[in-house]
Every structure is written in structure tokens, then in C-alpha cells.
Structure 1
Amino acid sequence: MDTTEIIVTLAGLALSGFVIWYFFFSARQTAAAVSTSNGVQQVDITVKGGYSPDVIEVERGKPVQLSFYRDEENSCSEELLMPDFSIRRDLPAFKTTLVELLPQQAGTFTFTCGMGMLRGSLVVK
């Protein structure tokens, strides 16, 4: 192996390590729902290349209102799927879409875009 091959191999290994760290071990932005005076838990979520925040904590047995603002036109983010709650919503670009649900059991429930590339979690305590 000459010097160029060694440099390319090391750069490839470093890049692979970064990708693995970013997708599996980096800290996720977590948000706890804010309860309104009428007991509804509310969270604002921005959709732009992903969900921000992408981990949402709510309390079991209380109604939840998620406000998804899609701040892009990327076709991947035009649909929201929450299979554990039988929810499918279209997310129009540059508009807010309300999703209401009532979590009855504790656990972690995944939500994704229609292609499954963008991912988030609803943590019910």
C-alpha cells in the first residue's frame, strides 16, 4: 500500500465512524409536552430534513396535540406516519398540520415520513 491508499482508507474509516455515531449514538433533541389550561399536551415540531425535536415526551391518558410545521418542499417529508396510532397525514409545505391523539399506554412509539427516512419518537410515560 502506498501513502495515497492509506490516506483514502483512513478517511473512509473516519467517515464511516462519523456516520455510525451520528445516526446511532448522537444526542437527540428531546422535548417535553407543555400542558395547557384545558389539559391538552402541546408540542411544536419543525419538519426540515428531519423532525425537530425528534423525541417528544408526553404523559399517558392525556390528550396530545402535535403541531407539525413543514419548512421545506422535499418530497420525502410530505407525509407523516404514526402506525401505532393509525395516523397518516399529508404535511403541506410551509404550513402547520395538527395531529391529535390520546396515548393510552406507556412506551416509545415511532413516527416517520412516508419513505421511512425521517424518524422521530413519541415517548409516553
Structure 2
Amino acid sequence: MNKVEITVDGGYKPSEVKVKVGEPVKLVFNRISDKGCLDQLNIPALNVKQQDLPLNEPQEFDLDTSKAGEIDFACGMNMFKGKVVIE
């Protein structure tokens, strides 16, 4: 399984990730700063709502990559956004 690491530090780095259809992927969010409203995460396609992102404690989410498309994610207040593009 491929791990895609997203650093949470005043935004999401990277904010856009591309993966291949059918490739098993685990998203790993690691919050390294307590700036802004990035202490919570929403990933609607995965039914993740207001998931806490503890400081320096990576949180992992398995992705369904069986179909091409986009999976959006955002902070708890929907101010900072990113996406995974499955192609």
C-alpha cells in the first residue's frame, strides 16, 4: 500500500495529490503546527466529519481508488482545502 503524506502547517502540503486508479493508497495527515483552524479535518467522501488532528500524531485514512475522480478534504471550518485526484 502506498502512503501519501500530507503535512498540515498553515495549510495542506501538498494540497493536491494524484494517484492511479486501483492503486491502494493510505492518506497520512501530520499536523506539525497549531496555527489556524487546521486541528480538524473533513473528508466527505469517506464520511470523515470534524476528525481531530492531534499535533504531531499522524492520522491515516484508506482511500477507495477503484474509480477515477476527486476526493476533497478541508479543515474543520472549510477555509483550507485540498484534494486527491484519482486518474
Shorter-chain TM-score category? 0.7 to 0.9
- Cα deviations by residue, 1:9-54 (Å, 9 ceiling, x for unpaired): xxxxxxxxxxxxxxxxxxxxxxxxxxxxxxx121111001100011
- Residue of structure 2 aligned with 1:116, choices 71, 74, 78: 78
Which segments of 5 or more consecutive residues in structure 2 lack a partner in the other structure? Answer: none
Instruction: Determine which structure has the larger strand proportion and give its number.
Output: 2
- Cα deviations by residue, 1:59-108 (Å, 9 ceiling, x for unpaired): 12232111111011235111111112222331001221111122222112
Instruction: Determine which structure has the larger helix proportion and give its number.
Output: 1
Asked if 2 retains the 8 angstrom alpha-carbon contact of 1:41 and 1:58, the reply is no
1:77 equivalent in alignment to 2:38: yes
TM-score (normalised: structure 1): 0.62
Instruction: Tell me which residue corresponds to 2:59.
Output: 97
Asked if 1 retains the 8 angstrom alpha-carbon contact of 2:41 and 2:74, the reply is yes
Instruction: Name segments (4+ residues, structure 1) moved above 3 Å.
Output: none
C-alpha separation in 1, matches of 2:40 and 2:67: 25
TM-score (normalised: structure 2): 0.86
RCO (CA 8 Å, sep 6+): is it higher in 1 or 2?
Answer: 2
Give the total of aligned pairs. 86
Which segments of 5 or more consecutive residues in structure 1 lack a partner in the other structure? Answer: 1-39
Asked if 1 retains the 8 angstrom alpha-carbon contact of 2:74 and 2:80, the reply is yes
How big is the alpha-carbon RMSD for the aligned residues of Structure 1 and Structure 2? 1.4
Percent of residue pairs identical: 36
